[in-house]
Structure 1
Amino acid sequence: MAEGGPVTLEVLLRLGRDMLLKAGIPDAALDARLLVERFTGTTRTDAIIDPLRPVDSETSRKILKAFERRTAGEPLHRITGSRQFYGLELSLSPATLEPRPDTETLVDAMLPLVRKTVARRGSCRILDLGTGTGAIALALLSQFPEATATGVDVSAEALATACANAERLGLSVRFSATCSDWFQNVAGLYDVIVSNPPYIPRDDIAGLARDVREHDPRAALDGGGDGLDAYRRIAAEAARFLDDDGTIGLEIGFDQRQAVTSIFEGQGFELLGSAKDLGGDDRVVIFGLPVRSQA
């Protein structure tokens, strides 16, 4: 930064844009603005009407460090420490996957099923396997005050992040956490089971975008040799935890619909529905147990 003159919003925004452009960062100006706003507590309007607003030296140093992290390839939301998901601001941690818009497709697909359960029973019990930030469970709870959810994760750090998110969003009374390797420590019956499990084939991880392979936890990406290990675990055990007419909603890789469907059908489930993401790729499959639903 220039010597002598005051550091202002305008100076920082220009510096960040130039640094990020030089590093080849897409949307350099937007990322620079979001970082400046995050660390100064200002808005876009502030920068427009008061571009010469001074920024103290300590905050300026933090912003410069944030620019350096971004130019080194660290994702924007890892630097800011949070990300919007389904209208909710969710804190991240090194143990959590960064929730992305594709996963909102799963929330959208499950809303009618939760609504139907609430209408029938007056409540809905949700189990979110591999909850991470709590994104899926908390998004559903935010839409249905009658629902409760249990977030399951093998990482205690991830569960602490999910619980902190629930607390900050005013949802902690209806959200509980269980440290478990999938169903190992789970008890009870649920109306809805949801999961965005790891589904990347192990050998494909090296070819993922840098911000994903270097900053998302590997355990949340690695789906085993063919990417389907987690689906096999869930399909083999889920029936014991589903109440009558219960449903399972899963995020999948763009080319995994047929394989995942075969796995669940092999365990007695039937495909009830599916959904595509905004890019037109298969992203969600929903299963139920027809024999039990007819009993």
Structure 2
Amino acid sequence: MPVQYILGEWDFQGLTLKMAPPVFIPRPETEELVEWVLEVSQRACAVGSPGGPLILEVGCGSGAIALSLLSQLPQSRVIAVEKGEAAIRLTRENAERLRLQDRIRIIPLDVTLEGCWMQLLPWGPLDLVVSNPPYVFHKDMEQLAPEIRSYEDLEALDGGEDGMDVIAHILALAPQLLKDSGSIFLEVDPRHPELVHSWLQTRPDLSLDLVAVRKDFCGRPRFLHIQRSGTQRGCPPDAWPGPQTVAVPG
């Protein structure tokens, strides 16, 4: 069993988060993704953008990304979507432990379902979409360490034949929700920068451009910054609903 599950908690970006199987355990690489989002967000604030960003996290898992961003961007708000019941409960518990529950909305949602973006329109328009989606190529799943295959949720890892199944849905979803010049930050497989660039070239209707690729601490191209241009869609900024409890399916 992974040590994070044995201890029942783990540190991520200075936060101590509860961990429980089978919810995916956040990796050190994902801390680098958070750091990049913080750099861009803080730079935007420095040049006069009012308030904090409204962020959508797709696949929140333990809440590591969302809660790290909330803790370091004091005026930010997060919409966290997740289809796994265990992950929804764990994110909610970690948000309460860190007293961040008033600035996060946790919504049961499968982004691969057609028309799912309609459920998110009342919460937008968004400044950022961030995700560490399932991106492992299906053929590589058997090469994962035994402790991963035995204990962690494999749906949080398996990205389909080319690792693009969920990534493609996020990219198709985001333009419906982002503000003009809104950004998408993704953690991906090192083979994905070229695949994502090629995929975007075939979908000019999305008005999305791959503007930057960042390497992880091992020198592998691991993180993507994609930006939207075009006519803004979505709801007015004052459409943020008040506090509510979202029921977990089942």
Q: Report the TM-score range of the alignment, normalised by the length of the smaller protein.
A: 0.7 to 0.9
1:255 to 184, 191, 205: 191
Contact 1:95/1:132, CA 8 A, preserved across alignment: no
Tell me if 1:159 matches 2:88: yes
Structure with bigger RCO (C-alpha 8 Å, 6+ apart): 2
- The TM-score, its normalising length taken from structure 1, stands at 0.71
The corresponding residue for 2:25 is 98
Correspondences of 1:81-120 after superposition (within 5 Å): 81-118=8-45, 119-120=48-49
Contact 1:126/1:148, CA 8 A, preserved across alignment: yes
Q: Secondary structure at the match of 2:102?
A: helix
The corresponding residue for 1:142 is 71
Q: Secondary structure at the match of 1:258?
A: helix
Contact 1:105/1:276, CA 8 A, preserved across alignment: no
- The TM-score, its normalising length taken from structure 2, stands at 0.83
Contact 1:90/1:135, CA 8 A, preserved across alignment: yes
Tell me if 1:128 matches 2:128: no
Unaligned segments of structure 2, at least 5 residues: 233-250
CA–CA separation in structure 2 for the residues paired with 1:114 and 1:263: 26
Unaligned segments of structure 1, at least 5 residues: 1-73
CA–CA separation in structure 1 for the residues paired with 2:86 and 2:120: 18
Contact 1:274/1:286, CA 8 A, preserved across alignment: yes
Q: CA deviation at 1:132?
A: 0.5
Contact 2:18/2:94, CA 8 A, preserved across alignment: yes
Contact 1:180/1:186, CA 8 A, preserved across alignment: no
Contact 1:105/1:283, CA 8 A, preserved across alignment: no
Q: CA deviation at 1:277?
A: 0.9
CA–CA separation in structure 2 for the residues paired with 1:237 and 1:255: 22
1:199 to 120, 135, 159: 135
Q: CA deviation at 1:130?
A: 0.4
Q: Secondary structure at the match of 1:244?
A: strand
Tell me if 1:286 matches 2:215: no
| One-letter amino acid of the structure 2 residue matched with residue 83 of structure 1 | W
Correspondences of 1:180-259 after superposition (within 5 Å): 180-182=109-111, 184=116, 185-187=119-121, 188-259=124-195
Q: Deviation above 6 Å: which 4+ runs of structure 1?
A: none
| One-letter amino acid of the structure 2 residue matched with residue 280 of structure 1 | G
The corresponding residue for 1:23 is none
RMSD: 1.6
Q: CA deviation at 1:263?
A: 2.2
